[in-house]
Amino acid sequence: MHVALTVNDFLRRAEEVYPDRIAVVDEPDQPAESWGSFTYAEMAAKARAIAAHLDALGIGQGERVAVVSHNSARLLTALFGVSGSGRVLVPVNFRLVAEEVKYIVEHCGARVLYVDPELEDGLADVQCEHRFVIGSATDAPAEHADPLPWVYDEDSTATINYTSGTTARPKGVQLTHRNVWLNATTFGWQLGINDRDVYLHTLPQFHCNGWGVLYSVTGMGAQHIILRKVDGAEILRRVERHGITVMCGAPAVANMILDAASNWDGPIPGHGRVRIVCAGAPPPTKTIERIETELGWEFIQIYGLTETTPLLTMNRTRAEFDALTPGERAIKLSRAGAPAIGVQMHISPDGEVLARGNHVMAGYWNQPEATADAMHAAADDSDGQAWFHSGDGGLLDADGYLTISDRKKDVIITGGENVSSIEVEDAVFSHPDVVEVAVIGVPDEKWGESVMALVVLTAGSTLTEAELIAHTRTKLAHYKCPKRVEFRKALARTTTGKLQKFKLREPFWADMDRKVH
């Protein structure tokens, strides 16, 4: 017997086992789009209503539905209502500017676009065959509507998640139902998700579908607490008010919480109860130690990419670490982690991290050449089977744990967001006074890395750093824009005229053990 693995399995179990349990507590201060609190039975009904609405619009199975939204109960439910009815959900980064969103909507061929009311004005120029403002009277039908049946196919695409990489435009990562299902169950198992957990949405839901933890939490009947905008003090208040036990985010989120805790009046909430999962870049060992000693929370690190749904490795404390001091334990936990169940890891001869497993994407949407470039055999592997090439440099130690040491691709990770240096260079170079530009990532205490532009101007130009940054903000989301600009007379190149960015980065990383931060 073969039963297809689909996202429906998670919400169906929650509806059957925990129908009357409060599933979601939506943001209370967003009346235009908030659904308030509702049960798992109601969540399933809402998901079916989304599917029925798409039926009424004539949106066929396999067609794309894009959503640009902050964290919300509606986006969470759309993970099931859209994908679970055979359509493809395209969750779009709400920080992107209109030009970037327009590209994604057009590239994926979305016929439906849902836009957060807060983003409506800024995205007014982004048009689609069917365009709805979330929370408007026309964005969904009555919740008693029954959708058309879908013949489950675990190899069909559940979501397309756009990620910045080595090209000037983001690539659409096709994640299948099988990818999503196995990532969610593996992640949930190793994280220990259970029906007593309360999950706080500190991680953007568009980020690889909230890393897949959203499905794990749903399938176990745990509770979702929506957090629309990240703030350290507000996170602590939610932990206290709702009894939060699990959250995910970039190291910058952990730093926000630590900063807020230093001004917290009274005992820090969640002591001995909260697990905080970090990814994006390895945080300093001091940060890891402070999470244990100052918050009393468990620090867990994972490594992965959107292309791997994302879980490849996990590092959480184990029995062998119990006798260590917090500082010694932090050193152990600073590694990216051991391969997750079902994941194979390999380091290529030139030091690149390769991976193989059921979490690896089906491919890049309508980009077969990019797919072939990312997934092919390793030079030192005789079996000829494909490996996913991460573009990260790393090593596997004697314990089998992965440490990320460098980036072999032109990607900067700032505050957990991927930034293509080539995309930023295009935006900088579009200014008429710019002759040459090289964009690199440099260490940043708050964001891990920040975007820096090294620029050569036309003779006699009086262009300032502030003016050039302002120019890029008309082209790109703010987090992608340079935080610093350094004007130079020339940029060193090879004899063939090629920029060597690793040499341009060297002075900024000279005091660092690893070339990622």
Residue with tokens 């706080």: 200
pLDDT in tens, 31-56: 556 788 999 999 999 999 999 999 99
Q: What is the pLDDT of residue 496?
A: 52
Report residue 515's pLDDT band, with 50, 70 and 90 as the boundaries. Answer: low
Percent of residues, the chain, with pLDDT higher than 90: 75
pTM for the model stands at 0.87
Enumerate domains of the chain plus CATH numbers.
Answer: 411-509 (3.30.300.30)
Q: Which of 28-42, 353-367, 416-430 has the lowest mean pLDDT?
A: 28-42
Residue length, the chain? 517
Q: What angle do CA 399, 401, 405 make, to 5 degrees?
A: 130
Amino acid at 261: A
Between 459 and 497, the higher pLDDT residue: 459
Residue 481 CA to residue 478 CA, distance in Å, equals 5
Q: Hey, CA dihedral for 267, 272, 276, 281, is it positive or negative? A: positive
Q: What is the pLDDT of residue 202?
A: 97
Q: Which of 126-135, 162-171, 264-273, 467-476 has the lowest mean pLDDT?
A: 162-171
Beta bridge partner(s), residue 313: 303, 339
Residue 415 CA to residue 211 CA, distance in Å, equals 16
> Does residue 476 have a pLDDT over 60?
yes
> Does residue 424 have a pLDDT over 80?
yes
Report residue 102's pLDDT band, with 50, 70 and 90 as the boundaries. Answer: very high
What's the mean pLDDT when you consider all of the chain?
92
pLDDT in tens, 6-20: 999 999 999 999 999
> Does residue 500 have a pLDDT over 80?
no
Residue 482 CA to residue 469 CA, distance in Å, equals 6
Q: What is the pLDDT of residue 130?
A: 97
Q: What is the pLDDT of residue 445?
A: 86
Q: What is the pLDDT of residue 474?
A: 92
Tokens representing 454 are: 């090294």
Q: Which of 86-95, 253-262, 438-447 has the lowest mean pLDDT?
A: 438-447
Q: What is the pLDDT of residue 436?
A: 85
Per the CB < 8 A criterion, the answer to whether 166 and 409 are in contact is yes
Buried b (16+ CB within 10 A) or exposed e, 231-251: bbebbbebbeeebbbbbbbbb
Q: What is the pLDDT of residue 247?
A: 98
Closest CA to 235 of 209, 261, 214, 211: 261
Tokens representing 274 are: 């909260």
Residue with tokens 């030139």: 350
DSSP state of 105: H
pLDDT in tens, 389-404: 998 888 999 999 999 8
DSSP for 148-213, please give it.
PP----TTSEEEEEEE--SSSS-EEEEEEHHHHHHHHHHHHHHHT--TT-EEE--S-TTTTTGGGH
Between 429 and 127, the higher pLDDT residue: 127
Percent of residues, the chain, with pLDDT higher than 70: 95
Neighbours of 16 (CB within 10 A): 12
Tokens representing 490 are: 């020339």
Q: Which of 10-24, 181-195, 487-501 has the lowest mean pLDDT?
A: 487-501
